[in-house]
Chain A
Amino acid sequence: MDLIFFKSAVVLYLISTLSFFIFLLSSSSLTCPTGLWTARLGFGCHSLSIIHRTFFSGFFPLATPFDALSMFAWLITCLFLLIQHRDSSPIFGAMATPMAAVLMIAGATLSYQLEGPIVPILHSWWLPIHVSFALAGNSVFAIMAICGLMYLYQERLIKRKRLGRIHKLLPSLETLDFINRRGLPIGFFLMTVGILSGALWAGSAWGFYWSWDPKETWSLITWFAYAVMIHQRLVLGWRGKRAAIMAIIGFALVMFTFIGVSLMFGGHHSFRNPTLRITGA
Chain B
Amino acid sequence: MSSGLAVIGLNHKTAPVNVRERVTFPANNEGNLTRSILSLPGVLEAIIVSTCNRSEVIAQCDPVDKVVETILDTIAVIHGVDRQILGRHCYTWIGDDAVRHVFRVACSLDSMILGEPQILGQVKDSFRRDSAANTIGPTLSRLMHRAFFTAKRVRNETGIGVAAVSVAYAAVELAKKILGDLKDKSVLLIGAGEMAELTARHLIGQVMSPICVANRTFENACTLADEFGGEALRFERLSGALAKADIVISSTGACDAVIKATDVKNVMKTRKYRPMFLIDIAVPRDIEAQVNDIDGVYLYNIDDLQAVVSENLGERMNEALKAEEIVDDEVKKFMDWTKTLDLSPTIVALREKLETIRNGEISRMNGKLSKLDDGQREILEIITRSIINKIAHDPISFLKKTKSTSRREVNADIVQRVFNLHGFSNPRDELEENLENEADNRN
B295 touches A237 (CB 8 A): no
Task: Given A27-B159, A158-B174, check contact A172 B295 (CB 8 Å).
Answer: no
Expressed in whole angstroms, the minimum distance between the Cβ of B144 and any Cβ of chain A is 26
CA distance A91 to B315 in the complex (A): 20
Contact A239 B177 (CB under 8 A): no
Alpha-carbon gap, A154 to B298, bound state (A): 12
Q: Which residues of B, 262-277, contact A by the 8 Å Cβ criterion?
A: 272-275
Q: Answer whether A163 and B273 are a contact pair too, CB < 8 Å, given A172-B178, A174-B180, A174-B181.
A: no
Chain A residue, CB-CB nearest to B271: A237
Report the minimum CB–CB distance from A151 to chain B (whole Å): 11
Asked whether A164 and B273 contact (CB < 8 A) given A154-B177, A174-B178, A178-B180, the answer is no
Q: Is the CB of B300 within 8 A of A161?
A: yes
Decide: A174 and B295 in contact? CB cutoff 8 A: no
Pick the contact of A163: B174, B176, B272, B296 (CB < 8 A). Answer: B174
CA of A271 to CA of B274, assembled, Å: 44
Which of B177, B273, B292 has a CB less than 8 Å from the CB of A167?
A: B177
* Docked pose: A163 CA to B272 CA in angstroms: 27
A173 and B162 contact, Cβ closer than 8 Å, known pairs A29-B157, A237-B273, A240-B273: no
Query: Which of A168, A173, A239 makes the CB contact (< 8 A) with B178?
Result: A173
- Report the bound CA distance from A172 to B175 in whole Å: 9
Distance, CA A239 to CA B275, complexed state (A): 9
The residue on A at minimum CB distance from B178 is A173
User: Is A158's CB under 8 angstroms from B178's CB?
Assistant: yes
Q: Is A175 an interface residue (CB 8 A)?
A: yes
Nearest to A29 among chain B residues (CB) is: B157
Q: Which of A134-171 contact B (CB under 8 A)?
A: 154, 158-159, 161, 163-165, 167-168, 170
Chain B neighbourhood of A163, CB < 8 A: 174, 308, 311
Q: For A174, list chain B residues within 8 Å (CB).
A: 178-181, 275
Taking the nearest CB of chain A, how far is it from the CB of B32, in angstroms?
44
Bound complex: CA A240 to CA B178 (Å): 11
Contact of A172 among B177, B272, B292 (CB under 8 A): B177
Given contacts A158-B174, A158-B177, contact A240 B296 (CB under 8 A): yes
User: Which residues from chain A contact B198 at a C-beta distance below 8 Å?
Assistant: none
Contact B178 A241, beta carbon cutoff 8 Å = no
Q: Is the CB of B295 within 8 A of A240?
A: yes
B307 is an interface residue with CB less than 8 A from chain A: yes
**Complex alpha-carbon distance, A175 and B179, angstroms:** 8
In the bound complex, residues from chain A placing their C-beta under 8 Å from that of B304 are 161
Question: Across the interface, do A242 and B295 meet the contact criterion of CB distance under 8 Å?
Answer: yes
- What 1/0 mask marks residues of chain A from 127 to 139 whose CB sits below 8 Å from any chain B CB? 0000000000000
What sequence of 0s and 1s flags, for each residue 233-252 of chain A, a beta carbon within 8 Å of any chain B beta carbon?
00001111110000000000
The CA of A239 and the CA of B272, in the complex, are separated in Å by 9
Indicate if the CB atoms of A172 and B176 lie closer than 8 Å.
Answer: yes
Residues on the A chain within 8 Å of B273, using CB: 237-240
Q: Residue B243 at the A interface, CB < 8 A?
A: no
Nearest-CB distance from A68 to chain B (Å)?
36
| B119 proximal to A (CB < 8 A) | no
| Contact bitstring A18-35, B, C-beta under 8 A = 1, else 0 | 000000000101000000
Interface string of A208-243 (1 = CB under 8 A from B): 000000000000000000000000000001111110
CB of B258 within 8 A of chain A? no
CB distance from B319 to the nearest CB of A (A): 9
Distance in Å from the Cβ of A158 to the closest Cβ of chain B? Answer: 6
**B163 close to chain A: CB less than 8 A:** yes
Closest 7 CB pairs of A and B: A174-B180, A237-B272, A172-B180, A172-B177, A161-B304, A240-B296, A237-B273
Starting from the known contacts A163-B308, A240-B296, 8 additional A-B residue pairs (CB-CB under 8 Å) come to: A158-B298, A159-B298, A163-B311, A172-B180, A173-B180, A239-B273, A240-B273, A240-B275
> What are 22 contact pairs spanning A and B, CB under 8 A?
A158-B174, A158-B298, A159-B292, A161-B307, A163-B174, A163-B308, A165-B315, A172-B177, A172-B179, A172-B180, A173-B177, A173-B275, A174-B275, A175-B180, A237-B272, A238-B273, A239-B273, A239-B296, A240-B275, A240-B296, A241-B296, A242-B295
